[in-house]
Amino acid sequence: MTTQRPNGLPVILDVDTGIDDALALAYAVAQPGLDIVAVTTVAGNIDVYRATGNTRNVLAFLGREDVPVHRGATRPLTRAQRGASHVHGTDGLGGADLPESQRAIDVTPGPATIVRLARERPGELTLIAVGPLTNLAIALNVEPRVAEWIPRVVVMGGAYHVPGNITPHAEFNVWADPEAADQVCAAPFGDLMMLGLDVTMQVGLSREVWADLQQRTDRPAAGELAVRVGRQTFVDAGMPQMYLHDPLAVAVAVDPTLVTSETVRISVTTSGEEDGRTVSVGPGPTQVARGVDADRFLAGVHRALGVRDVTAQ
Ligand code: RIB
Ligand code: CA
């Protein structure tokens, strides 16, 4: 579906917070009319307990302690967890050291929350998944009608016509739980959009813009969050830019016209050297993004973080 989305878009965000997951949350809370119904967390970049604490603390830092956060799967469907702390730091947030959220713990687990909300609001919700797809796969296993009740799913995952980022063949979210990704791609969702490295690595937050955020931002909380989570990438690792994998998934959920796509059937390799590879196996219903309006997306990220003089960036 490629129409502009009206305001008042109710979403479930499924995250493994992580540095770019934190920026995706900052982007989401900056979107007028985006109704974050719930956030579910999953083991991925870091263990699910730290991912949950990070998610709660990021939302509190952004002034959105009202958003419920439901802890999800502690590990992939059939394997041991394989993390990415080498990228996101041992705390999963690049050492951001945020204050602790004071929100009471939301006790319903992530997959059950997905099933409950889908059943209560059939046809209404968009699910945005920016970590391993374990929670969505469990929800589908428990209640296959989730594929019917959730009309639209936007996934940050896969590498379709480009190399992987965790192995030469695989993107991290899919590699972390290939069985879950394969089940999600095989489910009969009416509108499944896969945003792979093909598009997410076409645009990044520059070190210059990040450094400027330390001096000035029109959005103090979001700007300071970006400064804190970016330090490991820009200072410790000395990277020139930070890819915005997860914020792109939120941006596309709000405005699908940001990307162009092909529709294919995707299968996921679940063994051997190409474990976690996303493979197009012929005609099918899954939208795989091929191109992105990088300038328009980056301008939106800059606005969400309060970057000034966007036109001069
Ligand atoms: O490959 C990028 C993805 O893996 C992003 O979601 C990042 O947060 C990591 O989970
Ligand atoms: Ca992520």
Q: Is the pLDDT of residue 235 over 70?
A: yes
Q: Is the pLDDT of residue 3 over 70?
A: no
pLDDT over 90 for what percent of the chain?
89
Dist. CA 230–CA 139, nearest whole Å: 33
Q: Is the pLDDT of residue 87 over 80?
A: no
Mean pLDDT score across all residues of the chain: 95
Q: What tens digit of pLDDT does each residue of 33-52 get? A: 899 999 999 999 999 999 99
- The H or E element spanning position 85 is helix 85-88
Dist. CA 27–CA 300, nearest whole Å: 8
CATH architecture of 9-305: Alpha-Beta Complex (3.90)
Averaged pLDDT for residues 79-96: 85
Residue 4 binned pLDDT confidence (cut-offs 50, 70, 90) = very low
Q: Are the CB atoms for 112 and 25 separated by under 8 Å?
A: no
Q: What tens digit of pLDDT does each residue of 106-165 get? A: 999 999 999 999 999 999 999 999 999 999 999 999 999 999 999 999 999 999 999 999
Please give the distance, rounded to the nearest whole angstrom, from the Cα atom of residue 172 to the centre of ligand 2: 9
More confident residue, 308 or 272: 272
Compute the CA torsion angle 93, 94, 98, 102 (nearest 10 deg).
20
Ligand 1 mutation pick, 58, 172, 278, max ligand atoms within 8 A of CB? 172
88, 169, 245, 302: which one is catalytic?
Answer: 245
pLDDT over 70 for what percent of the chain?
96
**Both tokens assigned to 161:** 């016509």
Q: For the stretch 207-228, what's the b/e string if a residue is b when 16 or more beta carbons lie within 10 angstroms of its beta carbon?
A: bebbebbeeebebebbbbbbbb
Q: Is the pLDDT of residue 5 over 70?
A: no
More confident residue, 309 or 254: 254
- Please name which of 136, 142, 149 lies closest in space to residue 186, comparing C-alpha atoms: 136
Collect residues with CB below 5 Å from ion ligand 2.
16, 18, 21, 130-131, 246
Please give the distance, rounded to the nearest whole angstrom, from the Cα atom of residue 157 to the centre of ligand 1: 8
Q: Are the CB atoms for 113 and 38 separated by under 8 Å?
A: yes
Averaged pLDDT for residues 46-67: 98
Taking the CA of residue 20 as reference, the ligand 1 atom at the shortest distance is 8
**Both tokens assigned to 123:** 């046809």
Provide the pLDDT for residue 311. 54
Dist. CA 258–CA 155, nearest whole Å: 15
Taking the CA of residue 197 as reference, the ligand 1 atom at the shortest distance is 1
Dist. CA 239–CA 232, nearest whole Å: 9
Q: What is the largest CA-CA distance in the chain?
A: 50
* CB neighbourhood size of 263 (10 A): 13
> What is the SS3 assignment for 267?
strand
Please give the distance, rounded to the nearest whole angstrom, from the Cα atom of residue 218 to the centre of ligand 1: 27
Ligand 1 mutation pick, 244, 245, 252, 277, max ligand atoms within 8 A of CB? 245
Averaged pLDDT for residues 71-99: 89
> What is the SS3 assignment for 106?
strand
Provide the pLDDT for residue 99. 97
Q: Is the pLDDT of residue 8 over 90?
A: no
**Helix (DSSP H) and strand (DSSP E) numbers for the chain:** 13, 12
Please give the distance, rounded to the nearest whole angstrom, from the Cα atom of residue 173 to the centre of ligand 1: 6
Is 245 annotated in the active site? yes
Provide the pLDDT for residue 2. 42
Provide the pLDDT for residue 298. 98
- The H or E element spanning position 278 is strand 278-280
Dist. CA 24–CA 250, nearest whole Å: 6
